[in-house]
Amino acid sequence: MEKKTIALASDHAGFPLKEALKKKLTEEGYAVADAGCDSAESCDYPVYAEKGCRLVLEGKADLCVLCCGTGVGMSIAANKIRGIRAACCSDVFSARYTRLHNDANVLCLGARVVGEGLAWELVTAFVTSGFEGGKHARRVGLIADLENRE
């Protein structure tokens, strides 16, 4: 089975974690689309949330991982983009089930919340899980209906 392309993006606080994940994903045979940022110099996370998410929406990446200090800011910004279902996770169960039940296409991580080891476990759970469909498809459809009403 062909490995997915994973988009990565971060702000300055998430930059070291993004770089560590990029290295690990590449070592594991995933293609990586890096949407920035490119240093630990202060920057605005909404800019990079959008850049990473656009790669998914344009079909240039299958999934996206966004890193900031807590993961929350990236999650809020990403979820403002039509077609994105982003989840901020710090446990493996949530990272797996947000794909299985919510068909999330973006995982948000807090570099100040999770270490590199746990972050890798979260990313692995996220990228190796697939959407179950069934009753969950109806619920994801209801989320899309909410999004389309706004």
Active site residues: 68, 101
Contact status, residue 10 vs residue 37, Cβ threshold 8 Å: yes
Task: Give the chain's end-to-end CA distance (angstroms, integer).
Answer: 38
Q: Which residues contact 85 (CB under 8 A, 6 or more apart)?
A: 79, 98, 102, 103, 104, 105, 106, 140, 143
CA distances from 111 to 29, 48, 74, 140 (A): 23, 15, 12, 28
